[in-house]
Each structure stands twice: as structure tokens, then as C-alpha cells.
Amino acid sequence: MAHFYLNELVSTATVGARVSVDGPEARHAVTVSRLAVGETVSIGNGRGLVVSGPVVTAEHTELAIEVAVVTEAPRVQPAIFLAQALAKGDRDELAVQAATELGIDGVIPWTAGRSISRWEGAKVAKGHDRWTAIVREATKQSIRPWLPDVLDLVSTNQLSKLAAEVRMLVLEPTAQVALSALEPDDRDIVLVVGPEGGIAPNELAALTAAGATLVRLGDTVLRTSTAGPAAIAVLNAKLGRW
């Protein structure tokens, strides 16, 4: 099994240098993964840089490697962002986790009209921190060189304004256009997924009036936790990522 950890403070590295992780990362590596001196580990900074090499220090407070390989991956263009409506239970979190593993470049929490779950008051920061932690862990699990961004919570009005700046695709089961039929262009993509009860008609009208395109995946209706990841898989193929 490959082992991949993140240290966002690493900016550059050369072969022979020493790179380490500390705190919870080191504790997890030593106590849970039981890594020992001599085993090969990769460490990334979440901005494209990944270094790999043998472990030279394996302590609860520090896991360090001697760099043997340095790779730098450019950010993929166009970018794909998931605007995920807040949903009850852990369905929105499941969507964010899977989307990260599938290569999403950023996630946008959205308070849709039919969202049962709400981030209000202290819950805004708590929810954002929770999604950030999910994205970070999924990035490590999937060994991604780029850590996706978790943007600020948006309203439908704010999401509509964003439609003028990007190629916004709104998943809607009744849409006439299939996602697989769209041809990609150079614009960044924002994929919009509604909550359990779907996107309200007035919201669909506002988003399309702002320039968004309604698209469907197929003849079935997917849960909010699976619709986004399924659409990202289609986009990955269309954009040549896969």
C-alpha cells in the first residue's frame, strides 16, 4: 500500500534533502500505519509538489524521509468545481469525499432553497472546517498532488452571479441535454448538484437566466451523494483526464 502525507509548508525540495511531517500526520504514520525506517513514503505540499524516499526518522512527533524522487504536477485546466447543496445526514460529505478522490479542483458549499441542513452562525465555520478535513483526507487517500479548495458557503443568488464567469452545468433529471453530449471548451466548469428534494423551479430559472446549462446524466434519478461524483466521472472522460 502506498503511503502519502501532506505538509503544506514545503515549498521546494531537492534529491537528498530531508522532508518531514509532524503532529497528527506523524502520529498516524507511526502508530496507525506503523511505518518504520527504510520504508518508502511520499509527501506532498498540496500545490503540485510530491517528494518520495525512504523513511529516516519514524517518531510519534516526526516522520522524515530522505528525498529520492521529486515530481511537480501542473494544475489541470480547465478546472472542475462542485457546487454541492447542503444535505441531511452525511450525504453532502459523501459527495465531497468521492468528488475529491475523482479529481475535483474545488468544492462550493451551497445553501439551496430545499436544503434541510443549514449552516448558520457557528455552524458556518464548523461546516467549512469539516469539509476541509474531508477533502484533505480524501486527497491523501487518492495520492493527489493538488489539494482541492473549499470555497465559502454561497446562496443561490451568489451562485447565479458565478454563472457569468464560468461554464455552469446544473444537474437536473428533466433536462433535455445529456451531460455526455456536451463538448468541452476552455472555461472552468462549476457542476451544480441540488439537495435531497431537488433544485426548486425558481432556482433553476435564476441559474439558467444567469447563463447556466441544465444537463442530465440519464433516465434515472441519483441521490445527491452520488450525482456529483457520477457527473465528474463523465467530465473526466470528456476532458481527457481519464
| Residue-by-residue pLDDT tens, the chain, 242 positions | 579 999 999 999 999 999 999 999 999 899 988 999 999 999 999 999 999 999 999 999 999 999 999 999 999 999 999 999 999 989 999 999 999 999 999 999 999 999 999 999 999 999 999 999 999 999 999 999 999 999 999 999 999 999 989 999 999 999 999 999 999 899 999 999 999 999 999 999 999 999 999 999 988 889 999 999 999 999 999 999 99
3-state secondary structure of 33: coil
Whole-prediction pTM value?
0.93
HSE-up (13 A, CA, CB side) for residue 76: 19
d(CA 2, CA 55): 13
Q: What is the CA radius of gyration of the chain?
A: 20
